[in-house]
């Protein structure tokens, strides 16, 4: 099959198109012919070698973390899917490889594609939708009437998190650029801060939760908008020891992660709030919960640009360079 492989870390030239053997599905695996895959900032971070400490993939490996496609074979122990099903997924972190014609995915990580969505729309969702669910529902347990700040509201994660937070009954604020104010309002944002003209930390106060996807100064300043007992959950900030435990990392790595996040956690404690890092997990059951919301019209995907499969490197550059106006960049198989 055709695939895009990482031959070496730290260079765009490390990604190449090539022919590799078709995957062999195990007893609990579903073999999917990929129809579309979406591009995430995580893909570029992996390619650049920034995730090697926590995701030590051995080169060469196939890149890609989101897919939509059609089942072409099932393992002997598979009970949830059959040949011909249209499905979507974020494969487990140890089994990535969606920039390819085929992939074997454990049945527990897969879900039936929302009926109303195209393959391209469905492929844009799994990673960001699961991240949104795991922050807002699983960890923060957002309740009606709470105030939630979603940074980067026009990004792939932000566009979904705004909609899910609204569905949970929250009052939602978001940050975005001038050109995307109307976009995030159309997704349900109650308060929009144009970061080109306003400093969010001077405008917003007494929030229950901040979902940070930007890190750096944005993360630090986000502590100032929380009320006592509030939570800052980041997918871009320094990892913490809990993340190390989830990874099964050795004590040295866990200690290093704890040290990286110590200044942020200390400042959070002084303000009477909490900080935690989240790296999303694959999960078919959660995807099925999200599918019900999508089919009910509560959440809709936002797709920025669709590239042909042969232009996968250009799609990665489009995202890395910040050219995506709103939502996700998708690669379509031909």
80, burial (CB in 10 Å: exposed 0-12, middle 13-18, buried 19+): middle
pLDDT digit string, tens, across residues 193-222: 999 999 999 999 999 999 999 999 999 999
Angle at which helices 156-167 and 126-133 pack, to 10 degrees? 40
pLDDT of 248 over the 80 cut: no
Tell me the average pLDDT of the chain.
95
Q: How many residues does the structure list for the chain?
A: 334
Q: Does pTM top 0.85 for this prediction?
A: yes
Residue 12: per-residue pLDDT: 77
- pLDDT of amino acid 241: 77
Q: Which CATH class is domain 2-125+301-332?
A: alpha beta
Dihedral sign, CA of 296, 302, 308, 314?
Answer: negative
User: What fold does the segment set 127-277 form as a domain?
Assistant: Rossmann fold (3.40.50)
Residue-range domain boundaries for the chain: 2-125+301-332, 127-277
Q: Average pLDDT of 170-188? A: 97
Per residue in 11-37, pLDDT tens?
A: 778 899 999 999 999 999 999 999 999
């Amino acid at each position: 099959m055709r695939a895009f492989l990482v031959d070496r870390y730290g260079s765009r030239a490390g990604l190449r198109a090539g022919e590799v053997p078709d995957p062999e599905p195990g007893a609990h695996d579903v073999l999917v012919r990929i129809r579309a895959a979406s591009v995430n900032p995580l893909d570029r971070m992996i390619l650049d070698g920034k995730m090697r400490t926590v995701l030590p993939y051995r080169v060469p490996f196939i890149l890609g973390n989101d897919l939509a496609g059609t089942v072409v074979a099932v393992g002997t122990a598979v009970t949830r899917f059959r040949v011909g099903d249209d499905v979507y997924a974020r494969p487990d972190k140890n089994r990535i490889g969606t920039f390819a014609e085929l992939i074997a995915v454990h049945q527990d990580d897969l879900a039936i594609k929302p009926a109303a969505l195209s393959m391209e729309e469905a492929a844009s969702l799994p990673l960001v939708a699961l991240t949104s669910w795991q922050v807002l529902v699983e960890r923060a347990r957002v309740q009606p009437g709470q105030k939630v700040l979603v940074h980067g509201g026009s990004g792939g994660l932000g566009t979904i998190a705004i909609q899910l937070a609204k569905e949970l009954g929250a009052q939602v604020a978001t940050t975005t650029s001038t050109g995307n104010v109307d976009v995030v309002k159309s997704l349900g944002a109650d308060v929009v801060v144009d970061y080109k003209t306003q400093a969010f930390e001077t405008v917003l106060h007494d929030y229950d939760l901040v979902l940070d996807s930007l890190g750096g100064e944005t993360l630090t300043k986000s502590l100032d908008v929380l009320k006592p007992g509030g939570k800052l959950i980041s997918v871009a900030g320094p990892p913490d020891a809990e993340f190390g435990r989830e990874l099964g990392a050795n004590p040295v790595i866990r200690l290093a992660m704890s040290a990286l996040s110590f200044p942020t956690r200390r400042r959070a404690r002084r303000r009477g709030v909490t900080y935690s890092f989240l790296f999303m997990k694959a999960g078919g059951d959660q995807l099925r919960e999200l599918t019900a919301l999508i089919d009910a019209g509560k959440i809709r995907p936002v797709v920025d640009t669709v590239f042909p499969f042969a232009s996968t490197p250009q799609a990665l550059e489009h995202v890395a360079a910040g050219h995506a106006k709103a939502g996700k960049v998708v690669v379509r198989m031909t």
